[in-house]
Structure formats: C-alpha cells, structure tokens
C-alpha cells in the first residue's frame, strides 16, 4: 500500500515539477512583460506544490529522501509525470494550450482529492486548488483570446491543439496504482474525471473557434515511467545539472 | 532563576510587530497567516499557514518569527506548518486592508477586482494582468489618473 501511495504522490509531484520547470523556461523570454511575470508566477505555484507533494512522498517512502532528493537525484526512468507536461514549450500559444489542457484536468483532480481519505493529501489538494483555479482562468482566457484572435494566432492555436491532443488520453488511463488509490478512498478513478473535462473543453473550444481532433489515440508511458518521450531527459540535464555536477550542494 | 512564561497575549503582540517581508506596511498578523500560538509545556509553538505554496517569502517569514521571538527571550520554540484550512485573503484584518490601500495596493475584494484606484479613488479601473510582482498580487490600471497599481488577489 505505501509503495502505491509513494508512486501516486510522485505522479502528482512530478507533474507539477516538470511543468513548473518547463514554464519557468519562459522567464525573460515571454512575448510581453505581463505574460513573462504571469508565467513565472504560475511556475512558482507549481514548484511550491511540488515541494508539498514530494516531501510527502519522501515521508511515505521512509527512506530519508525529501523533495529536493527526489527532484534532483532521480533520472528519467524514475519520473512519473504525464507525457503532456514534458513536451517542449513550442511557441507561446503551444505553451498556453498545454497549460490549459493540464489545468483543466488538474483542477478536477485536485477537487476530487480534497475529499481524500488521507488528510495530508486532502490538505495539499485544498491549498493547490486555489492556485490552480487561477491558472485555469488565465489559461482559458488566453486560449479563447488567441483562438478567436487573428488568422495567424488562430492557426497557431489549432496547430498546438492538434499536436498536443495525443497526450491528453493518458490523464484518464488507470493502472494498479490508481486502482489501489481508489480502493483506499485516497484518489478518484481517473476515468471519472473525463465527462467534466470534455464538457469544459467543448465550451472553451467553441468560444475559441477551435476544433477538437477526432482521433482519440493517446500516447502512454509517462505516469507509469515505462516510456517517456525523448524530451524529458534533455530537460533534466538542464534542471539537474548543478546537483549532478556538485551532488548535495546547498545554498 | 525562575523566568515567567510570557502570556499568549504578549506573544501575539510581539508577532503583530513583525512585518511581512514583501509588503512591510502590514504585519504577519494583519495578513492572517499566524493561525495559533500555544505553550506546550515550556516550548512555544507557533502555527503558520503559507499564503501561496510557492511563495518565496515563506522561509523568510519563518526566520523573522524566530528572530523576533528569540529577541524577546523565547528559547524553546517550534514552528508548525498548517495547510488546511487553506489561507484565504478573507483572513486579512481590516487594519491590514486599510494599510495596504494607503501604501498604494488595492486590498482584496470578494467581487474579484479592486473597489477603486488606491490613489485617486476612481472606480474606472481595468485589469492589465492576472499576475503581478508577487504571487499574491495582480496588475491593474486606473483609466482616470492612468496610474498602474497592484491589486491584492482575493483567494
């Protein structure tokens, strides 16, 4: 049981860690100052949530690892994040489309986790859901603004959606870890979040004049750790370089 | 030597004098992040809740609390982090709100936007960005006096 819970907490923490790092790559490069600040703040929230999830994961594991050890001393095959969040930023539109798809799932997930039988999980979810509500609001506004914007911005948003769509399905797949969490009343069945997710996407894409791809093929292997895309390893060389060069260096 | 333990009221008074590191016009108690102060035998236990989970001020706040209390002669001290119930801007005191406005930051409003421009008090204001210079603020602008200003987000 504690193995499954450790896995599950790593999935939550790795999602926010990897996406938080990706979003932080925009710092100093965003199209306008306000967006730069907004992206940096979103990244900060995600990294803060990562600390809560991975510290708890380390506590559950009981092997003396804290959030920093888990973040910086594991390699690709030990990461449990969704494939969606490790995808490269692309242009600003692609970054915001990735953010929207993740936020839409993330908020539903956190709302469900607020009713978790595990009090620590419920507390982290309650804290995070306030921040993620804000992220989703902003991502939605941006997707609608750019989708229903100029011909250029519309085409770029549609291209981003087409490119990222095959990574959506993984959020709703289940395995032994999920089943154990459902049995223990810790977490929801991933598939149970799909109807509300689809309903939100339909509303937003209608307003954004974007068309959801027909094909529901979904890549898998991120949350199980079996097969990450090539991008994660490259990202980790950047994110972890200091701890790789100077193990256990502190501030 | 017998040293008497300061009353909890005295300790709250000390904490009321500790400024927020990022918005020093308001104190930690104005912000509503000190959730509890208790004596556990001869150890003082202070319970703090973070505003935003990634707020970099959190560690500085803990350090400031410790420094202030040690300065008042408290030797045995523990800081406890409490996540639930999650911090809400509703916990900010009225005096905290007034101090924010005077400083030029529009205080949080349940309606989700500033009541008026903190400088000229005009109600003609518009949002520039949902995020601002710290995780707890958004950027707004007054369309009358044209000054941009920070709005303390309502969460």
- Maximal CA-CA distance, chain B: 65
Chain A interface residues (partner B, CB cutoff 8 A): 34-35, 37-38, 41-42, 44-49, 51-52, 119, 122-124, 126-128, 130-131, 134, 137-138, 141
Is B52 part of the contact surface with chain A (CB cutoff 8 Å)? yes
Q: How many CB atoms lie within 10 A of CB B106?
A: 24
ipTM: 0.88
**Which residue in A has a C-alpha nearest to residue B87's C-alpha?**
A127
The minimum CA-CA distance between A237 and chain B, rounded to whole Å, is: 23
| B131 with A123: Cβ contact below 8 A | no
Higher pLDDT, A248 or A78: A78
Q: What is the pLDDT of residue B111?
A: 81
Joined together, the tokens standing for residue A196 give: 């509300």
Averaged pLDDT, A138-154: 97
Averaged pLDDT, A108-136: 97
Question: Among partner residues A37, A123, A128, which is closest to B129 by beta-carbon distance?
Answer: A37
Q: Looking at residue B119, what DSSP letter applies?
A: T
Q: Residue B136 burial by CB count (10 A; 0-12/13-18/19+): exposed, middle or buried?
A: buried
What residues in A contact B84, CB-CB < 8 Å?
119, 122-123, 126-127
**Which residue in A has a C-alpha nearest to residue B86's C-alpha?**
A127
**Taking the domains of chain A in order of start, what are their residue ranges?**
2-245
Each residue's pLDDT expressed in tens, for chain B with a length of 155 residues = 456 789 999 999 999 999 999 999 999 999 999 999 999 999 999 999 999 998 888 899 999 999 999 999 999 999 999 999 999 999 999 999 999 999 999 999 988 899 999 999 999 999 998 898 888 899 999 999 999 999 999 88
What residues in A contact B140, CB-CB < 8 Å?
none
Q: What is the pLDDT of residue A251?
A: 77
Question: Among partner residues B86, B131, B153, which is closest to A126 by beta-carbon distance?
Answer: B86
pLDDT tens string A220-244: 999 999 999 999 999 999 999 999 9
Among A29, A28, A70, A106, which residue's Cα sits nearest to residue A236? A70
Rounded Cα distance between A175 and A234, Å, is 27
Those of residues 78-107 in B touching chain A at CB distance below 8 A are 83-88
What residues in A contact B51, CB-CB < 8 Å?
none
What residues in B contact A45, CB-CB < 8 Å?
52-54, 135
Q: How many CB atoms lie within 10 A of CB B42?
A: 9
What residues in A contact B133, CB-CB < 8 Å?
37
Contact A118, A186 (CB under 8 A): yes
Q: What is the pLDDT of residue B1?
A: 47
Instruction: Indicate the CATH number for domain A2-245.
Output: 1.20.1260.10
pLDDT at position A192 over 50: yes
Q: What is the pLDDT of residue A169?
A: 97
Residue B38: which H helix or E strand, with range? Answer: strand B34-40
Q: Return the minimum-mean-pLDDT range out of A33-37, A194-198, A210-214.
A: A33-37
Question: Among partner residues A38, A45, A122, which is closest to B52 by beta-carbon distance?
Answer: A45
Q: What is the pLDDT of residue B110?
A: 83
Is B131 part of the contact surface with chain A (CB cutoff 8 Å)? yes
Among A48, A181, A195, which residue's Cα sits nearest to residue B58? A48
Question: Among partner residues B86, B128, B130, which is closest to A138 by beta-carbon distance?
Answer: B130
Residue A148 confidence class, pLDDT cut points 50, 70, 90: very high
What residues in A contact B153, CB-CB < 8 Å?
134
- Maximal CA-CA distance, chain A: 54
Residue A250 confidence class, pLDDT cut points 50, 70, 90: confident
């Amino acid at each position: 049981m504690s193995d499954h819970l450790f896995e599950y907490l790593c999935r939550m923490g790795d999602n926010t860690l990897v996406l938080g790092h990706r979003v932080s790559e925009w710092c100093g490069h965003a199209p306008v100052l306000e967006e730069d600040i907004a992206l940096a703040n979103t990244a900060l929230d995600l990294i803060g949530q990562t600390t809560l999830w991975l510290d708890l994961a380390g506590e559950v594991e009981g092997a003396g690892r804290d959030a920093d050890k888990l973040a910086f001393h594991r390699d690709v095959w030990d990461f449990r994040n969704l494939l969606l969040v490790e995808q490269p930023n692309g242009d600003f539109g692609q970054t915001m489309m990735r953010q929207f798809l993740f936020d839409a799932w993330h908020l539903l997930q956190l709302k469900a986790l607020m009713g978790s039988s595990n009090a620590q999980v419920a507390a982290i979810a309650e804290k995070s859901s306030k921040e993620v509500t804000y992220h989703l609001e902003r991502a939605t506004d941006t997707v609608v603004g750019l989708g229903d914007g100029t011909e250029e911005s519309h085409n770029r948003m549609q291209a981003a959606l087409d490119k990222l769509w095959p990574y959506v399905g993984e959020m709703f797949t289940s395995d032994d870890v999920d089943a154990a969490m459902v049995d223990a009343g810790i977490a929801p069945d991933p598939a149970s979040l799909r109807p509300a997710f689809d309903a939100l996407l339909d509303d937003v894409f209608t307003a954004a004049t974007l068309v959801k791809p027909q094909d529901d093929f979904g890549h898998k292997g991120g949350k199980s750790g079996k097969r990450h895309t090539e991008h994660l390893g490259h990202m980790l060389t950047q994110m972890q370089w200091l701890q790789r060069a100077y193990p256990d260096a502190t501030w | 030597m017998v040293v008497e333990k300061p009353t909890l009221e005295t300790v709250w008074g000390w904490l009321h004098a500790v400024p927020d590191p990022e918005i020093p016009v308001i104190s930690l108690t104005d912000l509503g992040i000190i959730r509890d102060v208790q004596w556990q035998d001869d150890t003082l236990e202070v319970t703090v809740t973070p505003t935003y989970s990634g707020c970099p001020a959190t560690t500085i706040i803990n350090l400031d609390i410790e420094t202030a209390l040690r300065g008042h002669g408290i030797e045995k001290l523990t800081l406890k982090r409490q996540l639930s119930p999650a911090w809400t801007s509703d916990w900010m005191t009225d005096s905290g709100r007034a101090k924010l406005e005077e400083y030029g930051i529009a205080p949080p409003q349940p309606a989700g936007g500033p009541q008026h421009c903190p400088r000229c008090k005009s109600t003609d204001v518009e949002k520039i960005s949902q995020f601002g210079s710290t995780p707890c603020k958004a950027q707004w602008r007054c369309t009358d006096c044209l000054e941009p200003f920070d709005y303390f987000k309502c969460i």
